[in-house]
Each structure stands twice: as structure tokens, then as C-alpha cells.
Amino acid sequence: MHNKYFPNNEYHTPKFKKRVIWDKLLFGSSLYFNIRFLNFVFHNRKKALNGQYDTAQWAKSSVDIFKFVEDCGGKFHIEGFNHIDEVKDEPVIFISNHMSTLETMVFPGLIAPVKETTFVVKDNLIHNKLFGPIMRARNPITVSRNDSRHDLIKVMSEGQQKLNEGTSIIIFPQSTRTNEFIPEKFNSLGVKLAQKAGVRVLPMAIKTDFWANGTLHKDLGHLNRSEPIHIKIGKPIKIKGSGKEEHQQIVRFIQENLEYWNNNK
């Protein structure tokens, strides 16, 4: 099964893609973007509350937001769809760095058309009045980020069950979103789960500082239209032994791609 929204191995926003008129009329502010984004959220929240937010709808709504980001000046450069195709018949763990709201919004459109998948998220997100119904509809694994041992046991237990059922898992090992990638704060939870469950991992490197984290509300930040959006999906990795070597391989994959993107704007 190929991704019907992204049928090729790579995707690049057309060079002369035009911004929507309302985005231009507001003199480059993020007001139009944030209002329309909230409209997307309320629309999908209603579907979730009505039991209409299945995997296909999740993927479609993600692609709708993807296109809207482009309409507001986002320039995507995505590589590695072929690696998702390589694992279309097996559950895997996607391990990515975490910069902004953007990746949580667009990842479903990149992955869910090919594979049943869910996220590991902070438990306060599923209780959030705005986003909670949407996240609960996707049955994520929740962690507190306050008790690392309890989180490890929970992810290992629920994660293995979901993988056994054929559901792939997306993990952001950093404790919070940040523009700076710090290897020491990038935990090996995803690798440990993959080792225990006997599944492969796909590293994902992202640069999504186009959508900044907000001050008053983290999901409603300003847009850095001069910053291109990069997403690279790596080759599937089989975990051998303790997984330490594979963890370092994932860290290097992210570091090297971020360095390349930062040096070749």
C-alpha cells in the first residue's frame, strides 16, 4: 500500500506556490493562520465526539492542515516515503526529534494512510478540553513525564500490546519541544520498546521551526516563513543486543540532518 496523498519517495512544495490572499492581507502576521488552525481543531473535535474520527479521517485532516501550512507560506521538503513502504506489512516504531506543533499535525498524513499508528503523548493532552477528544479518539499511549520509571513500565506494557495488534507507534523521546537538539535529553525509550517487542524502528529527523511555539499558548505561535520545513524518514533499523548502538545511530541521523539543513538554507 502506498500513501495516496504522497505517492512518490519525496515531496517538495512547488517553488512558486502562492499564499492565500487573507494570509497576505494581514501583513505576514500569524492571526489568519491561528484562527484557521483553531477552526480545523474544532471541526475535528466535533467529529471525534461523534465517533467519526477514524484512521482515514485522521489522515485526511492531517493532510488538510499540511496543505493549509503551504497556503500560508510553508515550504515542505520531505524524503523517505519509500522507507515507510518497506515496513507496510509490519508494526514499527517511528522515533523523531520534536520541535513544534507542526509534526504532531502532519505526521498522521505521512504515515497513517499506509500504517495504523498512534502516538506516545503526555497524559495532560488527553484531558485537554480542546485537543483531548481528538487524541482520545486515536487511543494513544500516555505518559506523565514526572515519573520516568512508571512511564517506562507503562510504555513497555501498552506499547508491546499495540505492536502485537499491528499498530505502529510514534515516539518523541525529548521531554519537551525545543529548537535545539540535545542528545543527552533524547532518551532511548523507543529503542527499548522495539528491542522488547522485536520490531524495527524508523528514525525521523525534522526541522519545523517554521511554526514557532507560542508564548500564551504553545500551539499558537508565530510563523517563520523564511524557514523551510524539513522531514526525513530513515531506513528501518533492527535492534540487536542492548540497543545502545542503534540509539546512537538514530541520534547521529538526527544530528547530521539538522546540521546539513542549518548549513544549507
pLDDT tens, position by position, 136-190: 999 999 988 777 788 889 999 999 999 999 999 999 998 777 888 888 889 999 9
Task: Report the alpha-carbon distance of residue 24 to residue 113 in Å, rounded.
Answer: 32
Min mean pLDDT across 106-110, 145-149, 261-265 is at: 145-149
pLDDT, greater one: 66 or 241: 66
Q: How many helices (H) and strands (E) does the chain have?
A: 10, 8
Segment 236-261 shows an average pLDDT of 95
What DSSP designation does 211 have? B
pLDDT tens, position by position, 168-182: 999 999 877 788 888
| Cβ–Cβ < 8 Å for 108, 62 | yes
| Cβ–Cβ < 8 Å for 192, 85 | no
Cα dist from 98 to 94, 176, 182, whole Å: 12, 7, 11
Cα dist from 211 to 19, 23, 31, 74, 122, whole Å: 16, 15, 13, 9, 20
Average pLDDT of every residue of the chain: 90
Segment 23-33 shows an average pLDDT of 66
The C-alpha angle with vertex 197 and arms to 196 and 203, in degrees rounded to 5, equals 95
Whose grid coordinates read 519517495?
A: 9
Helix 55-71 × helix 31-49 angle, to 10° = 170
Q: Quickly state the pLDDT bin for 265 (edges 50, 70, 90).
A: confident
| Cβ–Cβ < 8 Å for 93, 169 | yes
Longest dimension (CA), the chain: 57
Q: Quickly state the pLDDT bin for 207 (edges 50, 70, 90).
A: very high
